[in-house]
Amino acid sequence: MKAIIIDDEQKARNLLRILLKENCPQIKDIHEAEGLPEGVRLINEIKPEIIFLDIEMPGYSGIELLDFFSPDQIDFEIIFTTAYSEYAIKAFELNAVDYLLKPLRDEQVESAVSKAIHQRGNSNVNERFEELKNTLKTSSVRKIGLPVSNGILFVKFDDIILLEADRMYTQVFTLSDGEILVSKPLKYFSDLLSDSNEFYQPHRSFLINLKHMKQYVNQDGGYIIMDNQKNVSISRDRRDEFFQVMQNV
């Protein structure tokens, strides 16, 4: 397996090369570029399976890489290396884009490479990066990328009715795509959507979109009926908080 490291910092390239050699035996051939133009040339020449891409480099942003390729040419996975802000990290996660946070660590590199190998050729690279570019440009996150069996499904926040815990999985109920089972725990989504005012967790097993509440029923301890007729429980210790939230909806 071949990889290309695109980063303007020599020390960063050296460190990543060492970490790859020590932790990722699947990668046999590693090439380096100190900027995007050289990286594009190497990609066309080497035909790598994985690209490690710094998001901030002189002259170009790493996100512009796909502007140099047509969709049918993109048969590689991209892993960003970044020291970016918390907001940008959340944008990466919402758009299901892999990244390594500097300073790099062994286990972090090994995990990212393993994931990239697993999803290679079946991960909607072009669509994910278009969504990421839009997110970073507008500073407004309005979609989430859900990992499904055949790639990544992008769902608008407004299209999500609720999310329900299913052991280590999460059932996502949507308006347009029905029910989607995702191999992530509910806590992953509650953390990811914590900055979105329309999502609220009334119970440890549910995360709801407040826009899709249909009715509150003051029986059996109180529960919510959503637009899809799904009943959602309210934890005893969150009832007062829930009523406060309702006043602001």
Q: Average the pLDDT over each of 10-14, 54-58, 181-185, 245-249 and give the range with the smallest value.
A: 245-249
CATH number for the domain formed by residue range(s) 2-138 = 3.40.50.2300
The whole-angstrom separation of Cα 164 and Cα 183 is 12
Q: For residue 132, which of 181, 177, 193, 66 has the smallest C-alpha distance? A: 66
The whole-angstrom separation of Cα 78 and Cα 38 is 16
What is the sign of the dihedral through the CA atoms of 34, 38, 39 and 42? Answer: negative
51 sits in which H/E element: strand 50-54
| Predicted confidence (pLDDT) per residue in 178-200, tens digit | 999 998 899 989 988 887 888 99
The number of C-alpha atoms within 13 Å of 68 and in the hemisphere containing its C-beta is: 15
Domain boundaries, the chain: 2-138, 159-247
Q: Which residues contact 248 (CB under 8 A, 6 or more apart)?
A: none
Q: Which residues contact 93 (CB under 8 A, 6 or more apart)?
A: 192
Give the mean model confidence (pLDDT) for residues 71-92. 76
Local structure of 71: helix, strand or coil:
helix
| Predicted confidence (pLDDT) per residue in 233-249, tens digit | 999 999 889 988 887 76
Q: For residue 144, which of 185, 196, 75 has the smallest C-alpha distance? A: 196
Do 202 and 224 contact (CB within 8 A), yes or no? Answer: yes
Give the mean model confidence (pLDDT) for residues 124-130. 73
Residue 131 pLDDT > 60: yes
Do 52 and 58 contact (CB within 8 A), yes or no? Answer: no
Helical axes 86-94 vs 125-138, angle rounded to 10°: 150
| CATH ID of 159-247, from 2.60.40.1930, 3.30.43.10, 3.30.930.10, 2.40.50.1020 | 2.40.50.1020
The whole-angstrom separation of Cα 206 and Cα 160 is 12
Do 62 and 40 contact (CB within 8 A), yes or no? Answer: no
Do 78 and 115 contact (CB within 8 A), yes or no? Answer: no
Query: Residue 218 phi/psi, 5° resolution?
Result: -90, 55
Local structure of 29: helix, strand or coil:
strand
How much of the chain, in percent, has pLDDT values that exceed 70? 91
Q: Average the pLDDT over each of 28-37, 174-183, 218-227, 238-247 and give the range with the smallest value.
A: 238-247
Do 140 and 103 contact (CB within 8 A), yes or no? Answer: no
More confident residue, 79 or 55: 79
What is the pLDDT, as a whole number, of residue 216?
93
Residue 65 has which token pair?
């890489």
